[in-house]
Amino acid sequence: MKNIDLDKIENAVKQILEAIGEDPTREGLIDTPKRVAKMYSEVFAGLREDHKAHLTKIFGEDHEELVIVKDITFFSMCEHHLVPFFGKAHVAYIPKDGRVTGLSKLARTVETIARRPQLQERITSTVADTIMEVVEPYGVLVVVEAEHMCMSMRGVNKPGSKTVTSAVRGIFAKDNIVRSEALSLIRN
């Protein structure tokens, strides 16, 4: 995977500061390009990680009932405006043939996928598809709710508004009772 070019980011930030009419040599801005470059290496770390790798550790357990990890906090950057959006992901799956994964692995998968220039819809679908592919459960349900700064601080200017997306796979797509049970537990 490609390494991040910190020098290139620093130069671009200097140009942005100049383009908006600021002086990048002003005391408060002297180190800003370096700080932004370092921040970008952190917030876009998912570009240099394999999101599937977290789920490859599978445990054999006699459990084929609902597993839910709720309130997985995340942040990402809107690929349209390069401003943050942040919120919570809720991941539910039903293990098949006793194939379970570590609970923290689900959270790490969400984090890795989110740490890229993203769309909320893509995060939701990618998490669900990845779990289906790697863990091979009966089904997956992912719900993501987030506040987008591109809606809160610009454009429509509606702070506090939330976007909710969901992805249902396998048994959750076919069985309304199973889907309703999972959604009920996520809401509580």
The answer to whether 75 and 114 have CB atoms below 8 angstroms apart is: yes
CA distance 161 to 43: 23
Instruction: Give all strands (DSSP E) within 37-149, no chain letters.
Output: 58-60, 67-78, 84-94, 99-101, 117-118, 139-148
d(CA 177, CA 103): 24
* Contact predicate 137/94, CB 8 Å: yes
Q: Catalytic residues, which ones?
A: 78-81, 120, 148, 150
